[in-house]
Amino acid sequence: MFSIARTVVRPRLVNSFTRAAASIHTLPGLDYSYDALEPHISGEIMSLHHTKHHQTYVTGLNAAEEAYAKASGPKEKIKLQAALKFNGGGHINHSLFWKNLAPTSAGGGEIPSGALKEALERDFGSVDAFKNKMNTATAAIQGSGWGWLGYSPTTSKLEIVTTPNQDPLLSHVPIIGIDIWEHAFYLQYKNVKPDYLKAIWNVINFREAEARFLEAAKQSA
Ligand SMILES: [Fe+2]
């Protein structure tokens, strides 16, 4: 009996140690094809954004975590904080971003009647007023960053927030995120950020946003 138990348990232990030391983050797949968001976001942008930019954050995060695990002391670990924040934030933000987009043929751009629409009307006056306010805040980001519709666990309201670089949103629960890095729009919209920001609402997945909102409200209730 003992010999049988050892043969079962030991391989599992070896596998678990191997997995802990190996890269664990992977590029998530998209729920739609690269050209499915056209004409609002081109297939070329989506392909490069996903396979090159997001992949770079995943690779960087795995490398930083591996180095962190091997770091011999606090000084070495502190040196890795910036890489962990940048690449980890990039991976978190882009994973959210793909989910909060949807082709118009799959309901992108349509906000259903329900809890999210009612909360946007309560907190911003109207859905259009919310979009205008979010676009203004996002366009005003200096350099690269993200515009967010976030749910505040403190005020129990929807609020517009921005984060610089690839900083993830920590003060609020992210409901909708808009990537305002040039790689997200420049090939199609050049320097005209307002046109990109106007177009993206045609492919925002409001059903996904509402699910996040309901979950956030439930968690803080
Ligand atoms: Fe991006």
**For 19-38, what is each residue's pLDDT tens digit?**
444 569 999 999 999 999 99
**Range(s) of the domain holding residue 73:** 41-221
Residue 156, domain member (yes or no): yes
- Whole-model pTM: value is 0.89
Q: What is the Å distance from ligand 1's center to 45 Cα?
A: 10
Helices marked H in the chain = 2-21, 43-48, 55-70, 74-79, 81-99, 115-124, 127-139, 186-189, 193-199, 206-220
* Cross-strand partners of 176: 149
49 is in an annotated binding site: yes
Is the pLDDT reported for residue 108 higher than 90? yes
Q: What is the DSSP letter of 34?
A: G
Question: What is the distance in A from the centroid of ligand 1 to the CA of 50?
Answer: 8
181 contact partners, CB below 8 Å, separation of at least 6: 53, 144, 145
Does residue 159 lie within any of the structural domains? Answer: yes
Assigned domain for 60 exists = yes
Reported as a single tens digit per residue, the pLDDT across 135-179 is 999 999 999 999 999 999 999 999 999 999 999 999 999 999 999
C-beta of residue 145 within 8 angstroms of C-beta of residue 180: yes
- Residue 21 tokens, joined: 């030391």
Q: For residue 57, what is the domain's CATH number?
A: 3.55.40.20
179 has binding-site annotation: yes
Number of domains in the chain: 1
